[in-house]
Amino acid sequence: MGKVKFKEDACKGCRLCMSVCPKKILKIDETKVNPKGYHPVTCTDLNQCTGCTFCAVMCPDLIIEVYR
Amino acid sequence: MSETLVFKRPDMLRNVGFHYCPGCTHGIIHRLIAECIEELGLSDKTIGVAPVGCSVLAYDYFNCDMQEAAHGRAPAVATGIKRVHEDACVFTYQGDGDLASIGTAEIIHAAARSENISVFFVNNAIYGMTGGQMAPTTLVGQKATTSPHGRNQKYAGMPIRMSEVMAAIEGAYYIERVMVVDVKSINNAKKAIKKSLQYQMEGKGFSMVEILSTCPTGWGMTPLDAVEWLKKDMVDYYPLGLIKEGN
Ligand SMILES: Cc1ncc(C[n+]2csc(CCOP(=O)(O)OP(=O)(O)O)c2C)c(N)n1
Ligand code: SF4
Ligand code: SF4
Ligand code: SF4
């Protein structure tokens, strides 16, 4: 199975990664504000991640690393 | 269980954060160009030319020699670089204000001379950096700060389809229009960028890849709405696909 790692501090909360995740396991964490002033994205259920890389391919700011 | 890293930042991009607005697809295009350079083994022989526009700081992002050009003049600067460094891989990165407005003469004559360079033309249908003014590529009806009621065809004319204009020039070898709005279209865009660099290394002459890109800030939309608008309205006027190959 896969695993995603976010450079949370650099996330701009644009939601583009969320729109392409086939498992719909990415969401904005409204309880956090990063140093840039955005609510960063987070993975709600890593167990479901397949490591497909779609989110990373879509992220304009290259803050997602994917492991399999 | 051992884990393998299957997606990481390419070495051809320096480890600095982009200054682009949230959801702006300039960043995706930077990555694709960087990956293609790396995958073709051209990392040590690439020289890029940055434009004026939101991507003016591209020289801070690519991990190769970069030269900043005055607004619109990137193809002229790239001509000089390529003629002196024939073995180098030379690309320009230009917005639609840069390429289709102030730099129209330079781009057309670079193609007419069939300069052996790769041009990456980022069309976001607006002047992003200066605050969202109408560009030659702004769609009819599209709102911009200088067309608050939407582009009026009677007053401002019709948007220019630069790829089709360039394809009419004998010296242009390869012209393709792509977009970067989902995984499939991003992969297609990467293929076109790679092809353009490959043709340059084979000495085929001038090539240009037009990449439809979003400007959520200038368009006054969320990044997700901007993606939808691009897919529907922009693609309607700027058809995707191969426009010219061979001359
Ligand atoms: C000679 C000159 N004229 C005008 C400008 C102002 N100017 C800076 S960026 C820009 C428009 C850039 O738009 P575009 O090429 O579409 O790139 P974007 O910012 O949308 O990525 C203009 C008109 C300038 N810097 N230099
Ligand atoms: S790697 Fe695939 S499944 Fe995992 S979070 Fe990203 S898009 Fe979703
Ligand atoms: S695409 Fe990147 S910057 Fe945008 S919300 Fe997702 S991780 Fe954050
Ligand atoms: S103004 Fe538009 S093109 Fe410039 S960084 Fe922001 S979204 Fe991108």
Which residues of chain A are within 8 Å of residue B222 when distances are taken between CB atoms? 15
Average pLDDT for A32-58? 97
Structural domain count, chain A: 1
Predicted pLDDT at B1: 58
Let me know how long chain A is. Answer: 68
- Cα Rg of chain A (Å, integer): 11
Task: Tell me what ipTM this predicted complex has.
Answer: 0.97
* Residue A42 falls inside a structural domain: yes
Contacts with B169 (C-beta within 8 Å, 6 or more apart), sequence order = B108, B111, B112
In this structure, the residue with its CA closest to atom 7 of ligand 4 is B215
Predicted pLDDT at A63: 97
* Residue A40 falls inside a structural domain: yes
* Residue A68 falls inside a structural domain: no
Q: In chain B, which residue's Cα lies nearest the Cα of A38?
A: B22
d(C-alpha B105, C-alpha B122), whole Å: 17
Average pLDDT for A33-52? 97
In this structure, the residue with its CA closest to atom 3 of ligand 2 is A49
pLDDT, chain A, mean: 97
Q: Residue A19 sits in a domain of what CATH number?
A: 3.30.70.20
- Output the six-digit token pair for A4: 């995603």
Whose atoms come closest to the Cα of B220: which ligand?
A: 4
d(C-alpha A41, C-alpha A44), whole Å: 10
Domains, chain B, with CATH or none: 26-245 (3.40.50.970)
* Residue A47 falls inside a structural domain: yes
Which residues of chain B are within 8 Å of residue A5 when distances are taken between CB atoms? none
- Residue pair A28/A12 in contact (Cβ under 8 Å)? The answer is no
B56-91 per-residue burial string, b: 16 or more CB within 10 A, e: under 16: bebbebbbbbbbbbebbbbbbbbbebbeeeeebbbb
In this structure, the residue with its CA closest to atom 1 of ligand 4 is B128
In the three-class reduction of DSSP (H, G, I as helix; E, B as strand; rest coil), residue B196 is classed as helix
Query: Which ranges of chain B have pLDDT less than 70?
Result: 1
Whose atoms come closest to the Cα of B26: which ligand?
A: 4
Average pLDDT for A28-39? 97
* Residue A15 falls inside a structural domain: yes
Mutate to test the interface with B, among A34, A57, A68 (most CBs of B within 10 A): A57
Q: Does A19 touch chain B (CB under 8 A)?
A: yes
- Residue A43 is part of which domain span? 3-63
- CA–centroid distance, B26 to ligand 4, in Å, is 8
d(C-alpha B88, C-alpha B45), whole Å: 5
Strand partners, A46: none
